[in-house]
Amino acid sequence: MNGNVQTFNPAAEEDTIDLMELAGVLLRKAWALALAFVIGATAAGVFTKLFITPQYEATSMIYIYTKSTSITSITDLQIGSQLAVDFQIVGTSREVMDSVIARLGLDTDYKKLLKSVEISSPSGSHILKIVATNPDPQLAADISNAIADELRARIAAVMNTDEPSTLSRAYVPEYPISPSMVKNVALGGIGLTFLLAAIFVVAFLLDDTIKNEEDVKKYLGLNVLAEIVVERGGKTKQAG
């Protein structure tokens, strides 16, 4: 006699049937889910186009060494890396920002301008990158270049040396860095589709109405002994 005893687990079978029924419900509602994706994607695209202001980014770079700086030793290179960090702080000082505001006639203040500017030094380099972000691409380039010029002059005054060299001037960007139309459209379509699918799932889980013989066994624990044919509106239906 085989000692392995196989037991029947009604709960496991019920869960399997529920998952199959749920998959069937979502499959039958595939047209609605597809429509939700189209509506969500369209709405997100329109909202992005009409209500989100594009932002443009322009970058200029300066080399922190001057013409008179010696770079023939490792010590000089290490000092240059340390100075890069100091110059980042100098670049975000109120004196530099206020000079840029006055030079370009900007309708802003120090704090607002500072939020739109990022000054960084790539690790291990002796280069300062000045990145300016603005809804106006021309103004973004002007701000980046103006900060670079003011920073070079400020460094020369603080260090009592020649001005650092300009590595590259900022150019007027052609395309915005944000918002991403593709990303927003995809998120809008997927988000609305997921929301509608969640509604279908919740409605399915809360639906405990008896529709067929399997539901009678499932919810009442009874066996169906007979079925009665009922005619409604000219259509023939079977009732348990």
Q: Which CATH number is 80's domain given? A: 3.30.70.1130
Which pair of structure tokens corresponds to residue 64? 């922190």
Residues 74 and 132 both lie in one domain: yes
137, 174 contact by CB (below 8 A):
yes
Residues 41 and 64 both lie in one domain: no
pLDDT one-digit tens code per residue, 21-38: 788 888 999 999 999 999
Sheet holding 56-63, edge to edge: 117-120, 127-134, 56-63, 165-168
| Residue 57 burial by Cβ neighbours in a 10 Å radius (0-12, 13-18, 19+) | buried
User: Does 223 reside within a domain?
Assistant: yes
Domain that holds residue 240: 210-240
Residue 144 C-alpha from the chain's centroid: 25
Residues 70 and 143 both lie in one domain: yes
pLDDT one-digit tens code per residue, 88-121: 888 899 999 999 999 999 999 999 999 999 998 8
Residues 64 and 164 both lie in one domain: yes
Residues 148 and 199 both lie in one domain: no
Residues 64 and 154 both lie in one domain: yes
For the chain, the domain total comes to 3
Residues 6 or more apart from 203 whose CB is under 8 A from it? none
pLDDT number for residue 175? 93
